[in-house]
Amino acid sequence: MDTVEFSRTVPRELVHRSSITEVLVTGTLARDEDTLDVGVQIPRSHAFYRDSAGCGHLYDPMVLVEAARQTLIMLGHELFGMPFGTKFILREIALHEAAPAALAVSVVPTEVVLRCHILRRFRDRTGRVRGARLRYSAMIGDHVAARLECSMSWVPPEQWQTMREEGRIALGLPPHLGIEAPEPPPRIKEALVDRRDAANVVLSSLRVSPDAAGTGTARLVVDTRHPVLFDHYVDHVPGMLTLESFRQLSIATAAATGTLPSAAALLTGISARFTAIGELDLPVICESVLVQGDGTHAVLRSTMRQEGRVIAAGDVRLTRPGTEAGTR
Protein backbone atom coordinates (compact mmCIF):
# COMPACT_ATOMS: atom_id res chain seq x y z
CA MET A 1 0.00 0.00 0.00
CA ASP A 2 1.45 3.38 -1.02
CA THR A 3 -1.12 5.72 0.51
CA VAL A 4 -1.44 6.88 4.09
CA GLU A 5 -4.30 5.47 6.20
CA PHE A 6 -7.28 7.50 7.45
CA SER A 7 -9.32 4.72 9.06
CA ARG A 8 -8.42 5.56 12.68
CA THR A 9 -6.34 7.95 14.71
CA VAL A 10 -2.97 7.04 16.18
CA PRO A 11 -2.86 6.31 19.94
CA ARG A 12 -3.34 9.52 21.91
CA GLU A 13 -0.15 8.91 23.90
CA LEU A 14 1.91 9.32 20.71
CA VAL A 15 0.77 12.92 20.25
CA HIS A 16 0.55 13.88 23.93
CA ARG A 17 -3.21 14.32 23.99
CA SER A 18 -5.51 13.25 26.80
CA SER A 19 -8.80 13.41 24.90
CA ILE A 20 -9.12 11.00 22.00
CA THR A 21 -11.20 13.58 20.13
CA GLU A 22 -8.23 15.96 20.08
CA VAL A 23 -6.03 13.54 18.11
CA LEU A 24 -5.76 14.69 14.49
CA VAL A 25 -3.12 12.31 13.12
CA THR A 26 -4.30 9.06 11.51
CA GLY A 27 -1.15 7.33 10.25
CA THR A 28 2.24 7.58 8.58
CA LEU A 29 3.87 6.29 5.43
CA ALA A 30 7.64 6.58 4.96
CA ARG A 31 8.83 7.64 1.48
CA ASP A 32 12.57 7.64 2.20
CA GLU A 33 14.90 8.35 5.10
CA ASP A 34 13.94 12.01 5.28
CA THR A 35 10.47 12.13 3.74
CA LEU A 36 7.15 10.72 4.90
CA ASP A 37 3.44 11.28 4.55
CA VAL A 38 1.26 11.79 7.61
CA GLY A 39 -2.51 11.47 7.49
CA VAL A 40 -4.66 14.07 9.24
CA GLN A 41 -8.43 14.32 9.41
CA ILE A 42 -9.95 17.76 10.07
CA PRO A 43 -13.31 17.58 11.86
CA ARG A 44 -16.21 19.56 10.43
CA SER A 45 -17.31 20.42 13.94
CA HIS A 46 -14.89 21.44 16.68
CA ALA A 47 -15.44 23.55 19.79
CA PHE A 48 -12.20 25.50 19.26
CA TYR A 49 -11.02 25.19 15.67
CA ARG A 50 -14.49 25.73 14.18
CA ASP A 51 -15.57 28.70 16.30
CA SER A 52 -15.08 31.60 13.89
CA ALA A 53 -17.98 34.05 13.71
CA GLY A 54 -17.04 35.45 10.30
CA CYS A 55 -15.09 32.70 8.52
CA GLY A 56 -17.23 29.67 9.30
CA HIS A 57 -17.30 28.54 5.67
CA LEU A 58 -13.57 27.75 5.89
CA TYR A 59 -11.49 25.48 8.08
CA ASP A 60 -9.28 27.33 10.51
CA PRO A 61 -5.67 27.04 9.25
CA MET A 62 -4.57 26.90 12.90
CA VAL A 63 -5.75 23.29 12.96
CA LEU A 64 -2.96 22.51 10.47
CA VAL A 65 -0.47 24.08 12.87
CA GLU A 66 -1.71 21.77 15.61
CA ALA A 67 -1.47 18.82 13.22
CA ALA A 68 2.14 19.71 12.42
CA ARG A 69 2.91 19.95 16.13
CA GLN A 70 1.31 16.57 16.84
CA THR A 71 3.23 15.04 13.94
CA LEU A 72 6.63 16.03 15.26
CA ILE A 73 5.73 14.76 18.72
CA MET A 74 4.68 11.42 17.24
CA LEU A 75 7.85 11.16 15.16
CA GLY A 76 9.92 11.95 18.23
CA HIS A 77 8.61 8.74 19.76
CA GLU A 78 8.16 6.47 16.73
CA LEU A 79 10.97 7.54 14.43
CA PHE A 80 13.60 8.94 16.79
CA GLY A 81 12.94 6.59 19.69
CA MET A 82 12.29 9.09 22.47
CA PRO A 83 10.82 7.19 25.46
CA PHE A 84 7.54 8.25 27.02
CA GLY A 85 8.24 10.76 29.78
CA THR A 86 10.65 12.70 27.57
CA LYS A 87 9.78 16.40 27.53
CA PHE A 88 9.22 17.98 24.11
CA ILE A 89 10.11 21.67 23.85
CA LEU A 90 8.59 23.63 20.98
CA ARG A 91 11.25 25.97 19.58
CA GLU A 92 9.75 27.39 16.38
CA ILE A 93 6.60 26.85 14.37
CA ALA A 94 5.18 28.55 11.29
CA LEU A 95 2.34 28.45 8.79
CA HIS A 96 2.86 30.02 5.37
CA GLU A 97 0.82 30.50 2.21
CA ALA A 98 -2.50 29.21 3.55
CA ALA A 99 -4.81 28.78 0.54
CA PRO A 100 -8.38 29.44 1.66
CA ALA A 101 -9.86 27.96 -1.51
CA ALA A 102 -8.47 24.57 -0.46
CA LEU A 103 -9.88 24.95 3.07
CA ALA A 104 -13.56 25.20 2.19
CA VAL A 105 -15.68 23.10 4.53
CA SER A 106 -17.12 20.10 2.72
CA VAL A 107 -20.04 17.78 3.41
CA VAL A 108 -17.62 15.17 4.77
CA PRO A 109 -14.59 15.43 7.08
CA THR A 110 -11.52 16.61 5.18
CA GLU A 111 -8.51 14.34 4.80
CA VAL A 112 -5.11 16.04 4.70
CA VAL A 113 -1.77 14.54 3.78
CA LEU A 114 1.09 16.28 5.53
CA ARG A 115 4.08 15.68 3.27
CA CYS A 116 6.94 15.95 5.76
CA HIS A 117 10.61 16.49 5.04
CA ILE A 118 13.17 16.27 7.83
CA LEU A 119 15.39 19.31 7.37
CA ARG A 120 17.71 18.73 10.29
CA ARG A 121 18.38 16.39 13.19
CA PHE A 122 19.76 18.11 16.28
CA ARG A 123 22.32 15.99 18.13
CA ASP A 124 24.01 16.23 21.52
CA ARG A 125 27.72 15.74 22.17
CA THR A 126 27.33 11.97 22.14
CA GLY A 127 25.71 12.05 18.70
CA ARG A 128 22.25 11.15 19.95
CA VAL A 129 19.34 12.93 18.27
CA ARG A 130 17.81 15.44 20.68
CA GLY A 131 15.52 17.32 18.34
CA ALA A 132 14.46 17.91 14.77
CA ARG A 133 13.21 20.51 12.30
CA LEU A 134 10.56 19.54 9.75
CA ARG A 135 9.02 21.21 6.72
CA TYR A 136 5.51 20.25 5.66
CA SER A 137 3.22 20.66 2.67
CA ALA A 138 -0.41 20.23 3.68
CA MET A 139 -2.12 18.53 0.75
CA ILE A 140 -5.89 18.40 0.35
CA GLY A 141 -6.47 16.37 -2.76
CA ASP A 142 -4.11 17.80 -5.38
CA HIS A 143 -3.97 21.24 -3.76
CA VAL A 144 -1.40 22.63 -1.34
CA ALA A 145 -3.53 24.07 1.46
CA ALA A 146 -0.54 25.48 3.37
CA ARG A 147 3.15 25.12 4.02
CA LEU A 148 4.49 24.73 7.53
CA GLU A 149 7.68 24.34 9.55
CA CYS A 150 8.22 23.10 13.08
CA SER A 151 11.23 22.46 15.29
CA MET A 152 11.42 20.83 18.71
CA SER A 153 14.03 19.63 21.12
CA TRP A 154 13.70 16.76 23.54
CA VAL A 155 15.06 16.56 27.07
CA PRO A 156 14.98 13.79 29.70
CA PRO A 157 12.44 14.36 32.48
CA GLU A 158 15.08 14.89 35.17
CA GLN A 159 16.76 17.61 33.08
CA TRP A 160 13.41 19.25 32.45
CA GLN A 161 12.63 19.24 36.16
CA THR A 162 15.92 20.94 36.95
CA MET A 163 15.32 23.54 34.23
CA ARG A 164 11.85 24.31 35.53
CA GLU A 165 12.91 24.63 39.17
CA GLU A 166 15.85 26.89 38.36
CA GLY A 167 13.74 29.03 36.04
CA ARG A 168 10.98 29.56 38.60
CA ILE A 169 13.40 30.36 41.40
CA ALA A 170 15.10 32.96 39.19
CA LEU A 171 11.70 34.69 38.86
CA GLY A 172 11.17 34.68 42.63
CA LEU A 173 8.60 31.87 42.47
CA PRO A 174 8.42 28.63 44.45
CA PRO A 175 10.26 25.83 42.61
CA HIS A 176 6.97 24.05 41.91
CA LEU A 177 3.67 25.42 40.59
CA GLY A 178 0.74 25.13 42.97
CA ILE A 179 -2.02 22.63 42.36
CA GLU A 180 -4.02 25.18 40.35
CA ALA A 181 -3.10 28.31 38.45
CA PRO A 182 -4.75 31.57 39.54
CA GLU A 183 -8.29 32.35 38.40
CA PRO A 184 -8.14 33.86 34.89
CA PRO A 185 -8.93 37.58 34.46
CA PRO A 186 -12.13 38.73 32.69
CA ARG A 187 -12.06 38.17 28.94
CA ILE A 188 -12.69 40.78 26.27
CA LYS A 189 -15.83 40.43 24.12
CA GLU A 190 -15.70 37.49 21.71
CA ALA A 191 -16.85 39.64 18.77
CA LEU A 192 -13.58 41.60 18.99
CA VAL A 193 -11.56 38.50 18.05
CA ASP A 194 -13.93 36.70 15.66
CA ARG A 195 -15.12 34.14 18.18
CA ARG A 196 -18.61 32.86 18.97
CA ASP A 197 -17.82 31.15 22.28
CA ALA A 198 -16.51 33.47 25.00
CA ALA A 199 -14.62 30.55 26.56
CA ASN A 200 -12.31 30.55 23.51
CA VAL A 201 -11.19 34.15 24.05
CA VAL A 202 -7.63 34.25 25.42
CA LEU A 203 -7.19 38.01 25.97
CA SER A 204 -8.04 40.45 28.76
CA SER A 205 -7.53 44.19 29.28
CA LEU A 206 -7.22 45.08 25.59
CA ARG A 207 -5.77 48.46 24.63
CA VAL A 208 -5.19 49.69 21.08
CA SER A 209 -3.29 52.92 20.43
CA PRO A 210 -5.47 55.56 18.73
CA ASP A 211 -2.61 56.86 16.59
CA ALA A 212 -1.17 55.53 13.33
CA ALA A 213 1.30 53.29 15.14
CA GLY A 214 -1.27 50.51 15.25
CA THR A 215 -0.19 48.83 18.49
CA GLY A 216 -2.40 46.59 20.56
CA THR A 217 -1.63 45.21 24.00
CA ALA A 218 -3.51 42.75 26.19
CA ARG A 219 -3.05 40.42 29.09
CA LEU A 220 -3.07 36.71 28.36
CA VAL A 221 -5.96 34.72 29.80
CA VAL A 222 -4.59 31.49 31.26
CA ASP A 223 -7.57 29.20 31.77
CA THR A 224 -6.30 25.78 32.77
CA ARG A 225 -9.86 24.44 32.48
CA HIS A 226 -9.96 24.97 28.71
CA PRO A 227 -10.52 21.51 27.21
CA VAL A 228 -8.35 22.06 24.12
CA LEU A 229 -5.57 24.48 25.04
CA PHE A 230 -5.14 22.63 28.34
CA ASP A 231 -6.14 19.16 27.15
CA HIS A 232 -3.80 17.73 29.80
CA TYR A 233 -1.81 19.12 32.71
CA VAL A 234 1.12 21.36 31.85
CA ASP A 235 3.00 23.68 34.22
CA HIS A 236 3.69 26.42 31.67
CA VAL A 237 2.04 28.50 28.93
CA PRO A 238 1.36 26.09 26.04
CA GLY A 239 2.66 26.92 22.59
CA MET A 240 -0.77 26.80 20.99
CA LEU A 241 -2.10 29.28 23.55
CA THR A 242 0.72 31.62 22.59
CA LEU A 243 -0.17 31.33 18.90
CA GLU A 244 -3.85 31.90 19.59
CA SER A 245 -3.06 35.04 21.59
CA PHE A 246 -0.99 36.34 18.67
CA ARG A 247 -3.86 35.69 16.28
CA GLN A 248 -6.56 37.22 18.49
CA LEU A 249 -4.59 40.34 19.39
CA SER A 250 -3.66 40.87 15.74
CA ILE A 251 -7.33 40.62 14.73
CA ALA A 252 -8.44 43.04 17.44
CA THR A 253 -5.68 45.52 16.57
CA ALA A 254 -6.26 45.36 12.81
CA ALA A 255 -10.00 45.89 13.23
CA ALA A 256 -9.70 48.65 15.84
CA THR A 257 -7.26 50.65 13.69
CA GLY A 258 -9.34 50.24 10.53
CA THR A 259 -6.60 48.25 8.83
CA LEU A 260 -9.22 45.58 8.22
CA PRO A 261 -12.94 46.46 8.06
CA SER A 262 -13.96 44.04 10.81
CA ALA A 263 -12.77 41.26 13.11
CA ALA A 264 -13.84 38.69 10.50
CA ALA A 265 -10.34 37.81 9.33
CA LEU A 266 -8.78 34.59 8.17
CA LEU A 267 -5.37 33.53 9.43
CA THR A 268 -3.22 33.01 6.31
CA GLY A 269 0.19 33.03 7.98
CA ILE A 270 1.70 32.85 11.45
CA SER A 271 5.14 32.23 12.91
CA ALA A 272 6.54 32.08 16.41
CA ARG A 273 9.91 31.55 18.02
CA PHE A 274 9.83 30.50 21.67
CA THR A 275 12.73 31.88 23.71
CA ALA A 276 11.66 31.25 27.31
CA ILE A 277 9.09 29.33 29.32
CA GLY A 278 5.96 31.25 30.34
CA GLU A 279 4.85 30.68 33.92
CA LEU A 280 1.17 30.20 34.68
CA ASP A 281 1.24 32.11 37.97
CA LEU A 282 2.66 35.42 36.69
CA PRO A 283 0.94 37.90 34.33
CA VAL A 284 1.78 37.59 30.64
CA ILE A 285 1.49 40.64 28.38
CA CYS A 286 1.01 40.38 24.62
CA GLU A 287 1.71 43.09 22.04
CA SER A 288 0.90 43.29 18.35
CA VAL A 289 2.29 46.04 16.11
CA LEU A 290 0.97 46.74 12.64
CA VAL A 291 3.63 46.20 9.98
CA GLN A 292 1.53 46.61 6.85
CA GLY A 293 -2.09 46.61 5.75
CA ASP A 294 -4.25 47.64 2.83
CA GLY A 295 -7.83 46.88 3.87
CA THR A 296 -7.59 43.38 2.43
CA HIS A 297 -4.52 41.97 4.15
CA ALA A 298 -2.71 42.86 7.36
CA VAL A 299 0.64 41.80 8.79
CA LEU A 300 1.39 42.34 12.46
CA ARG A 301 4.44 41.62 14.61
CA SER A 302 3.57 39.98 17.91
CA THR A 303 5.51 39.64 21.14
CA MET A 304 4.76 37.93 24.45
CA ARG A 305 6.49 39.15 27.62
CA GLN A 306 6.58 38.12 31.25
CA GLU A 307 8.49 39.98 33.95
CA GLY A 308 10.12 42.12 31.26
CA ARG A 309 11.57 39.19 29.30
CA VAL A 310 10.43 38.10 25.84
CA ILE A 311 9.12 34.54 25.92
CA ALA A 312 7.88 34.38 22.32
CA ALA A 313 7.79 36.54 19.20
CA GLY A 314 6.53 36.18 15.65
CA ASP A 315 4.37 37.50 12.83
CA VAL A 316 0.71 37.13 11.91
CA ARG A 317 -0.86 37.58 8.48
CA LEU A 318 -4.62 38.11 8.19
CA THR A 319 -6.86 38.20 5.14
CA ARG A 320 -10.36 39.60 4.77
CA PRO A 321 -12.84 36.85 3.82
CA GLY A 322 -13.80 36.85 0.16
CA THR A 323 -10.44 38.25 -0.97
CA GLU A 324 -8.42 35.08 -0.59
CA ALA A 325 -7.29 34.51 -4.17
CA GLY A 326 -3.55 34.66 -4.51
CA THR A 327 -2.91 34.81 -0.74
CA ARG A 328 0.74 34.43 0.25
Q: For 126-164, how does the pLDDT look when each residue is reduced to its tens digit (9 = 90+)?
A: 988 899 999 999 999 999 999 999 999 999 999 999 999
CA distance linking residue 284 with residue 219, whole number of Å: 6
Q: What is the pLDDT of residue 177?
A: 85
Question: What mean pLDDT is reported for the chain?
Answer: 94
What does DSSP say about strands 215-220 and 203-208: parallel, antiparallel, or unpaired? antiparallel
CA distance linking residue 46 with residue 305, whole number of Å: 30
CA distance linking residue 11 with residue 25, whole number of Å: 9
pLDDT tens for residues 71-106?
A: 999 999 999 999 999 999 999 999 999 999 999 998
Residue 328 has pLDDT above 50, yes or no: no
CA distance linking residue 117 with residue 138, whole number of Å: 12
CB-based contacts of 197: which residues, under 8 Å, 6+ apart?
47, 51, 190
By the 8 A CB rule, do 181 and 222 touch? yes
The CATH label, of 3.10.690.10, 3.30.1330.20, 3.10.129.10, 1.10.3720.10, for the domain at 1-155 is 3.10.129.10
Q: What is the pLDDT of residue 326?
A: 40
The class level of CATH for 176-328 reads alpha beta
By the 8 A CB rule, do 161 and 176 touch? no
CA distance linking residue 86 with residue 79, whole number of Å: 14
Percent of the chain topping pLDDT 70 = 96
Two domains, one topology: 1-155 and 176-328: yes
pLDDT tens for residues 20-71?
A: 999 999 999 999 999 999 999 999 999 999 999 999 999 999 999 999 999 9
Residue 276 has pLDDT above 50, yes or no: yes
Domain ranges of the chain: 1-155, 176-328
